[in-house]
Chains A and B, each alone.
Chain A
């Protein structure tokens, strides 16, 4: 079954990340890379990306059939999505194990609709 792991955090987390020293940043990135590498080798990762900050996001909405483009994420909140991974595993427990191994921050685990 497919699950999407959303690597979430707060604006404060984002700020801390933006203000990291290059060494700290590199160490953090290395952990994430190791996670992706390990689970890719195990054949459990279908895809995933790290996202740029919320200040770079743009939202397209529709009003009376007309597309409206606005600056920023759709839901204005203190929470942000820093990245995501699409994983293919047996069940929720296996997806939760992967989320627990992430360790860089909170992870939301969403089951994907099967087709």
Chain B
């Protein structure tokens, strides 16, 4: 095991660009302003460049270069009046530089030099195509996530690397490989049609949900990065919902994300420690946001096409609307999990169902269900943490402790580790010993 390696150093890396020099003298160029511009422009730019150059790899690369150039220049110079045009000019120049030496691209270079506007394509189509290409199932899912963040949301490679706690060269290589595959294997740049569409939307949603979870679970009050992965995943999902308004599952995922975010301010106490759902101060939840999310869920239900995201959102809604942990409608939650299991039967869903079952039918019954998952989930820290909770309730302290120690070995998330250690009441010295194992 290689911990501790995450936490402050890796996470502050993406912020360093700003804290070292930029921020003080250019107060007007805020992270939020940059994020807004990049989100607005990245997909449009990439779409335009793909149409101009006809090569996804090169088009995406020159857009990334223009974003990086903007990050270098704008904090000192301020954001230009027409940031889209500034970025387009930078991307076009970079493309000309890259392509000039290659005879095959002579025609494209001429086109770029004449500053010819790309052919008019409805912007919605363009962004959708881009999203579907980035989330193509022939690419590894981690590459799908990285490509979507870069090409659609305007992340830099450095920011993606920081968000996923891998080194920048590793992330860069992952992106290069994926883009080469798009070109070499001729992955089409188009919106899937007919029977293809729904499974491909599922693939997009899986990427967005993974992105959201990565941001949401790893974020704590101490984390200050320029971009918030959870917010960006939320923004991307809203974009997909705008482009595909009739897809109930897209709405379901939006509701799920919104319900998580609406409750997020209760997730940490003033010391930055995780507070689990039973102990959360529900007065801190954003009641208005929860009510709005539930309305969207009703809209999704009206489309009569249920699916796993809507069901998970419905479960989150029952929690969100309960006045307290004790007053939660556990029977309804177990019933929703049963429906969910009929669509997607996964060990993690079974584990979550067992937590609700413990409240409805007692810890002994739930423990039996959890123990059945021992083989498939033995490497999952929450399996052991859940078991520990149930064993505690049954008064089996030493077995509970053993499970918690196993959970501790399996997670590197600082907030989750701290929670487990509080429950174990171990001192840092114990940790030091474990480091040498």
Number of A-B residue pairs, CB cutoff 8 Å, is: 20
Interface residues of A in 75-97 (CB under 8 A from B): 90-93, 96
Q: What string of 1s and 0s marks CB contacts (under 8 Å) between B191-214 and chain A?
A: 010001000000000000000000
Q: Contacts of B184 on A, CB cut-off 8 Å?
A: 111
* Assembly CA distance A92 to B137 (angstroms): 11
Q: What string of 1s and 0s marks CB contacts (under 8 Å) between B143-184 and chain A?
A: 000000000000000000000000000000000000000001
Chain B nearest Cβ from A44, distance in angstroms? 15
Q: Is B188 a contact partner of A90 (Cβ separation < 8 A)?
A: yes
Q: Contacts of B136 on A, CB cut-off 8 Å?
A: 92
* B283 contacts partner chain A, Cβ-Cβ < 8 Å: no
Main secondary structure of the interface of B (DSSP, over half): loop
Q: What string of 1s and 0s marks CB contacts (under 8 Å) between A1-39 and chain B?
A: 100000000000000000000000000000000000000
Q: Contacts of A111 on B, CB cut-off 8 Å?
A: 184-186
Q: Is B196 a contact partner of A92 (Cβ separation < 8 A)?
A: no
The answer, among A90, A91, A93, for a CB contact under 8 Å with B196, is: A93
B interface, size bucket: under 10
Q: Contacts of A109 on B, CB cut-off 8 Å?
A: 185
The closest CB in chain A to the CB of B182 belongs to A92
Q: Is A96 a contact partner of B138 (Cβ separation < 8 A)?
A: yes
Q: Contacts of A92 on B, CB cut-off 8 Å?
A: 136, 138, 185-188
Q: Is A93 a contact partner of B192 (Cβ separation < 8 A)?
A: yes
Q: Contacts of B186 on A, CB cut-off 8 Å?
A: 1, 91-92, 111
Interface size on A, residues (CB 8 A): 8
Q: Contacts of A90 on B, CB cut-off 8 Å?
A: 188
Q: Contacts of B196 on A, CB cut-off 8 Å?
A: 93
Chain A nearest Cβ from B98, distance in angstroms? 22
Interface residues of A in 85-115 (CB under 8 A from B): 90-93, 96, 109, 111
Q: Contacts of A96 on B, CB cut-off 8 Å?
A: 138
The closest CB in chain A to the CB of B138 belongs to A92
* Assembly CA distance A30 to B184 (angstroms): 34
* Assembly CA distance A1 to B185 (angstroms): 9
Q: Contacts of B192 on A, CB cut-off 8 Å?
A: 93
The closest CB in chain B to the CB of A96 belongs to B138
Q: Contacts of A93 on B, CB cut-off 8 Å?
A: 187-188, 192, 196
Q: Contacts of B187 on A, CB cut-off 8 Å?
A: 91-93
Chain A nearest Cβ from B64, distance in angstroms? 23
Chain A nearest Cβ from B112, distance in angstroms? 25
* Assembly CA distance A90 to B193 (angstroms): 15
Interface residues of B in 130-145 (CB under 8 A from A): 136, 138
* Assembly CA distance A49 to B187 (angstroms): 26
Chain B nearest Cβ from A4, distance in angstroms? 12
* Assembly CA distance A38 to B184 (angstroms): 27
Chain B nearest Cβ from A47, distance in angstroms? 19
Chain B nearest Cβ from A58, distance in angstroms? 31
* Assembly CA distance A106 to B180 (angstroms): 24
* Assembly CA distance A46 to B34 (angstroms): 51
Chain A nearest Cβ from B180, distance in angstroms? 11
Chain A nearest Cβ from B185, distance in angstroms? 5
Q: Contacts of A91 on B, CB cut-off 8 Å?
A: 186-188
Chain B nearest Cβ from A115, distance in angstroms? 14
Chain A nearest Cβ from B200, distance in angstroms? 9
Q: What string of 1s and 0s marks CB contacts (under 8 Å) between B208-250 and chain A?
A: 0000000000000000000000000000000000000000000
A-B pairs, top 5 by smallest CB distance, nearest first, are: A91-B188, A111-B185, A91-B186, A92-B187, A1-B186
Could you list 6 further interchain pairs (A-B, Cβ under 8 angstroms) beyond the known A96-B138, A109-B185? A91-B186, A91-B187, A92-B187, A93-B188, A111-B184, A111-B186
List 20 A-B residue pairs with CB atoms under 8 Å apart, sorted by A's residue number: A1-B186, A90-B188, A91-B186, A91-B187, A91-B188, A92-B136, A92-B138, A92-B185, A92-B186, A92-B187, A92-B188, A93-B187, A93-B188, A93-B192, A93-B196, A96-B138, A109-B185, A111-B184, A111-B185, A111-B186
